[in-house]
């Protein structure tokens, strides 16, 4: 069934908005910032980058254990993991709505800040400084 028809069939028009392609990074960020929750129930991903983008905007994420999400998400703290079945996905969506969304969203934002360019350079420089200090000893 067409996703638009499903949304209407389940009377979710006020909760789900299908945006289609967003042409600019600003449009993507604006959409994330208007979102209350980001769901990524993928079977196989390298990232997924979209989860990190949503987290950077302070949006709570429900995702499967794929890609770097295994290393980034602390279940129930800065996001939530779901299984690959519809029942578990629905359960996790309802649970994250029960949690303090703002608290999880803020924890998500702080988590991905370590991937911010200046922060990564600062961390890399610190690592090099530690290596230099050990060599000088």
- CA distance from start to end of the chain: 67
- Please provide the CATH number assigned to the domain covering 35-136: 3.40.50.2000
Long-range contacts made by residues 115-124, C-beta under 8 angstroms, separation at least 24? 115/52
Helix 25-33, helix 49-56: angle, nearest 10: 60
Domain ranges of the chain: 35-136
Distance between CA 38 and CA 32 in Å, rounded? 8
Q: Which two tokens stand for residue 65?
A: 């254990």
pTM of the model: 0.77
pLDDT tens string 37-49: 999 999 998 889 8
pLDDT at residue 120, rounded to an integer: 63
Three-class SS state of 63: strand
pLDDT tens string 87-136: 999 999 888 877 766 688 899 999 988 777 777 677 777 777 888 888 87
């Amino acid at each position: 069934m067409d996703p638009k028809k499903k949304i209407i069939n389940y009377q979710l028009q006020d909760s789900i908005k299908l945006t289609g392609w967003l042409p600019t990074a600003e449009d993507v960020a604006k959409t994330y910032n208007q979102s209350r929750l980001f769901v990524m129930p993928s079977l196989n991903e390298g990232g997924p980058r979209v989860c990190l983008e949503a987290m950077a905007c302070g949006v709570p994420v429900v995702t499967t254990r794929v890609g770097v999400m295994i290393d980034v998400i602390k279940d129930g703290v800065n996001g939530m993991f779901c299984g690959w079945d519809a029942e578990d996905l629905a359960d996790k969506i309802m649970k994250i709505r029960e949690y303090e969304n703002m608290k999880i969203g803020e924890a998500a934002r702080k988590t991905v800040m370590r991937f911010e360019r200046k922060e990564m350079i600062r961390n890399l420089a610190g690592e090099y400084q530690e290596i230099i200090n050990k060599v000088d000893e």
